[in-house]
Structure 1
């Protein structure tokens, strides 16, 4: 192999390597969504009416927020949902607050008969945020709340 062909090949490899590295740097600039300020509140039903579980969080991504999936589960059950399982649960309602940030709220109505079957003690809320560009962030314990004796 001549030195000229070898040098041309090396130069081409360096150029391609530089382009690939630049592409990786650009790809690494993309961020995953963030879930912040998650809070959950459980209000037991009363004789006057149904109770509720409300989970609220601020979700951000530079591409915008597509969805937030939410599930509540008792710590005593040891369910511990996975990211894959979260794709098939209820979604929160998300409203844009600025740029790529949305305030997402999930509300579940709880009747007296449903409340009677709830495990007492600590419950967790798991959340799966999905950005408009397809990025996801799974938060296994985005918030906790207590269910007290009725």
Structure 2
């Protein structure tokens, strides 16, 4: 083997070894859950029939999803100024999550809206906030995961 080829091979081994060490170090760090395909749908009450709010999202978390908390809030409320925190979200209602692939769950939050609820709710733009918690305890807070309008 020529000296130039030997040096090229040695440099390649060093480069690959460094990349592998970086990949192993990165893989050892906990990864936050990720949200995808988040949607919110509000249906107003009609006659004697209740309306509803349905929020869905796909959550991916290494090791699985422990829980997903959801809070609907009006865009023009005081929460816009104070900003939601994980502590605020810890005690709100939970979505129902079903496994939908490796480390991914499809989560649905649904709540009925009576005529009284709809009459009392502020009109206009609303946001759905989500706190996703992975099995390893890492979290992701998305305060405006999806929007809907109460008209």
Measured against the shorter chain, the TM-score band is 0.7 to 0.9
- Point out 4+ residue stretches in structure 1 off by more than 6 angstroms: none
Question: Residue 105 of structure 1 corresponds to which residue in structure 2?
Answer: 108
Question: Residue 136 of structure 1 corresponds to which residue in structure 2?
Answer: 139
Unaligned runs of 5+ in 2: 1-20
d(CA) in 1 for partners of 2:76 and 2:30?
A: 38
Provide, for residues 60-100 of structure 1, a one-character-per-residue CA deviation record: whole Å limited to 9, x for no partner: 01110011000000011131422210001000000000110
Are residue 34 (structure 1) and residue 34 (structure 2) matched? yes
Provide, for residues 11-40 of structure 1, a one-character-per-residue CA deviation record: whole Å limited to 9, x for no partner: xxxxxxxxxx99x92675421100111100
d(CA) in 2 for partners of 1:61 and 1:38?
A: 15
Question: Residue 65 of structure 2 corresponds to which residue in structure 1?
Answer: 65
Query: How many residues matched?
Result: 127
Alignment TM-score, normalising by the size of structure 1: 0.79
Give runs of aligned pairs for residues 1-150 of structure 1, distance below 5 A. Answer: 25=25, 28-79=28-79, 80-148=83-151
Alignment TM-score, normalising by the size of structure 2: 0.79
Q: Select between 74-83 and 95-104 the one with higher mean Cα deviation.
A: 74-83
